[in-house]
Structure 1
Amino acid sequence: MKTININSQMILNDLASRMPNALTEDDKAILNDIYYESLEDLDDPEAMFTYTLSKAMRKHLMEGQSQEHIYLQRFEIPQIRLFELLIQQFPLANLSQQCTNTLLVDALVNHTNPVLMDIGIGTGFQVSNIIDALSKKGNNQIKCLHIVGIEPFADALKMTEENIKRVSKNAPFEVKLTVKEAFIEQMSQEELQKLLPAQYDGLYVNASFALHHIQQMSQRKAVFEILKNLKVNAFVLSEPNSNHFEPTYQKRFQNCKNHYGVLFQIIDTLSITATEKAALKLFFSREVDDVLGNTEEVRVEKHFATEQWVQLFEETGFSLQKRTASFEYEALNGTNLKTDLPNRYATEFKGEEITSLFWAN
């Protein structure tokens, strides 16, 4: 079955070259056959990945209609467990956050009244970990840490306030929180400036896996320019390394297949149950659905490759720096934190850079 699925992926690549308007009725029949064939053996890793790709391609042809098949209900796990797996077991999230948190903590402790602006703060999980690490850090000069959280989803911000309030109780310094329900690309420099306190001695901006959701290149450049004009001490960016901004379907298909294929391989190395592995893959399959299944006008998983982020930093006047840091660990579940790059950190798996971690000022 594994050989069949590898061949199926080769056929999908051929079909992608004619997507979406040049597919024949025979092509569409082949795509459907591959989709249903993969459903018959979802316990096989290659079949699961073939299912993920073919489902997204069918969604594109059917104008956005995509649902998880009933066969996959056996892979459902509680949302809280999925979140734990992503943070604790999935090395790309774990190593990336450990890297950026370490860099931010090392810098923040040298200020008395710093501001940490988090773009896409979500439920405040990462910021809570930063506050906790700062609380345990020696030679800490902080008297008041002001958190500015920007997040487009109101429900997430409610949890942010609860989580940061809880962790702040144990902090040896004051923590103030300002939240804004908004998309960062829809905010002006004046609006961002108003979120900052009247007095502060350091401004750090963190964006973890959030800015690739900005759909237009002009919007990305405008956000970078605004942050540069705010005179930040550092802009810390974490992003996957794959070009899904690419408008050509065949090229985007190949980039998507390569990137998520590696992610699925990483998941297969984890010491978790088969059901949990499948649940993680289904989590990422929803991103594949967006990359390959949605039209150019609505899709939001528009990742950049590393060199595209580097170019955007350069075009907007930022200088990439490489801070010296000591990390608690540099490897997890077969994935490594790469520390010898000249202008960034990265996570790598089998020699391939999967996520890029930037420190710019």
Structure 2
Amino acid sequence: MRTSKEELLFQAMEHAVAGRAVEARRALRSLESRLDVDVVPEDLGYHLFAMAVAHRLEGSGARNPYLNPRVEEGGRQIDLFRSLMTHMPLASTADVLANAVLEELLGNRGEATLVDVGIGQGRQAGRLLRLLSKRGVLPRRLTLVGVDPSGASLEQAEAAVAKVAREVGGAVRFMGVEAPVEEVTEATWSKLRELPGPRVVNAAFAMHHVAEEPGHAGAARDAVLRHLRALEPVGLVLSEPNTDHFGASPLVRFQHAWRHFTHVFQLLDTLGVPSDERAAIKRFFGREVEDVVGTVDEAARCERHEMAATWMARLRRAGFVPLEWLERLRPEGVHPALTLRREPGLVGLSWREEMLVAVLAVRPDIARA
């Protein structure tokens, strides 16, 4: 049963979608009068969703929070992500699981290539290099391809990777591709296919940002997965939130977002994180809520999350099959607040039996080669 605050929030969204702006704003004012975000931890979540509904009423266009700095509202999204990685076990545990798979795929190679889609500032890649070095399985020569729409992030990634490579004594060549992955040119894909193998692909919380053409929902990400399959990688690792903010209608998408982010916020509130850091992390997710809930123009949205099962179906269509040994991995560093749900080619990170994040690992289907 919904609480009175939930009723008001859902009423506001229903009015907003139906074009009843006056009624929506009235419900939002009534909701805000019941909130005390400085005292009641759950009230910040209500406030962030209320702001997203208000954003929808304004008809404001979406803006990619990673490419549009908003320092006045608490910091850049890419910088807030550092706080999330420090305190929030979903992202850090997904990182641990993904790197454990990448270690198996890259370890003890004489030469190899890692294509990192959405590399950001290169922090996961740096942790991977340290892990490979610690285990004594660092490839003798590694080509690291960072694909990212932000040139500034690529510069930081190259510097960070070079620093770690010097620390561990690794021979790492960095190649930056400044573009959203769906806009990488055929000429660049051709160059990537010529890089020394074995090739491995990693995409951590990046594929749901792929932009889609109106009326062609899913076509762009399917095309990206086919391009990645054409690289003939020995394996591909995909980390994504497990929720549907892509194909659902606005009201259903709102319900999915409320369920997903409420679980995320409740998990965060159990971890003993300092209140200022906890608020910053919630505001990080609040910017995603604003995009999912508050954006009227579907083509302008950035956070198009999909369920893990949907991603696996896309991967299969692109010519991949589950990596058989993923279910046997027992990596160190899994946060005790989480439980792992294991399925073929997938490890789900769950809290209170709700799978919030999935790490998928696949290989090319040889039968379809």
Give the TM-score of the pair, scaled to structure 2.
0.87
Q: Which residue of structure 1 aligns with residue 107 of structure 2?
A: 109
Q: Is 1:335 paired with 2:338?
A: yes
1:53 alignment counterpart: 49
Match of 2:166 in 1: 169
CA shift, 1:168, in A, is 0.5
1:150 deviates by 0.5
Q: Aligned-pair distance for 1:225? A: 0.9
Say which is worse superposed, 105-114 or 175-184, in terms of deviation.
Answer: 105-114
CA distance in 2, matches of 1:75, 1:289: 13
The aligned amino acid for 1:47 is D
Q: Deviations over 1:289-323 (max 9, x none)?
A: 10011121211101001121121112222111242
Answer yes or no: is the 8 Å Cα contact 1:331–1:337 preserved in 2. Answer: no
Structure 1 regions of 5+ residues with no counterpart?
67-72
Which residue number in structure 2 is paired with residue 326 of structure 1?
330
Query: Partner residue of 1:153?
Result: 150
Distance in 2 (CA, whole Å) between partners of 1:81 and 1:227 is 28
Contact 1:113 1:142 in 2 (8 A): yes
3-state SS of the aligned residue for 1:15?
A: helix
Deviations 1:137-176 (A, max 9, x none): 13x2721011000110011111111101100002343111
Shift of 1:240: 0.1
Helix, strand or coil: the match of 1:331?
coil
1:303 aligns with 2:301: no
Q: How many residue pairs get matched?
A: 347
Deviations 1:190-246 (A, max 9, x none): 412314555x23100000000101132110010011111221111110000000003
Secondary structure at 1:19 match in 2? helix
The RMSD of aligned alpha carbons is 2.5
Q: Which residue of 2 aligns with 1:131?
A: 129
Give me the identity figure in percent. Answer: 27
Which residue does the alignment assign to 1:69? none
Residues 257 and 289, structure 2, Cα contact 8 Å, conserved in 1:
yes
Given the alignment, which residue of 96, 99, 114 partners 2:97?
99
Which is worse superposed, 171-180 or 237-246? Answer: 171-180
| Separation of aligned partners in 1, 2:74 and 2:177 | 33
How far apart in 2 are the matches of 1:27 and 1:267?
29
> Aligned runs of 1:155-234 on 2, under 5 Å?
155-195=152-192, 198=195, 200-216=196-212, 217-234=218-235
Residues 135, 45 of structure 1: CA spacing in aligned structure 2 closer, same or farther, 3 A cutoff?
same
Deviations 1:303-345 (A, max 9, x none): 001121121112222111242323113334x12333x323311
Question: Which residue of structure 1 lines up, in the alignment, with residue 67 of structure 2?
Answer: none
In structure 1, the partner of 2:65 is none
User: Structure 1 length as normaliser, TM-score?
Assistant: 0.89
What is aligned with 2:27? 30
CA deviations over 1:51-70 (Å, ceiling 9, x no partner) = 1111100100111289xxxx
Paired residues of 2:52 and 2:290 also in contact (CA < 8 A): yes
Q: Cα 1:192–1:77, aligned 2, differ >3 Å: closer, same or farther?
A: closer
State whether residues 165 and 172 of structure 2, in contact with CA within 8 Å, keep that contact through their aligned partners in structure 1: yes
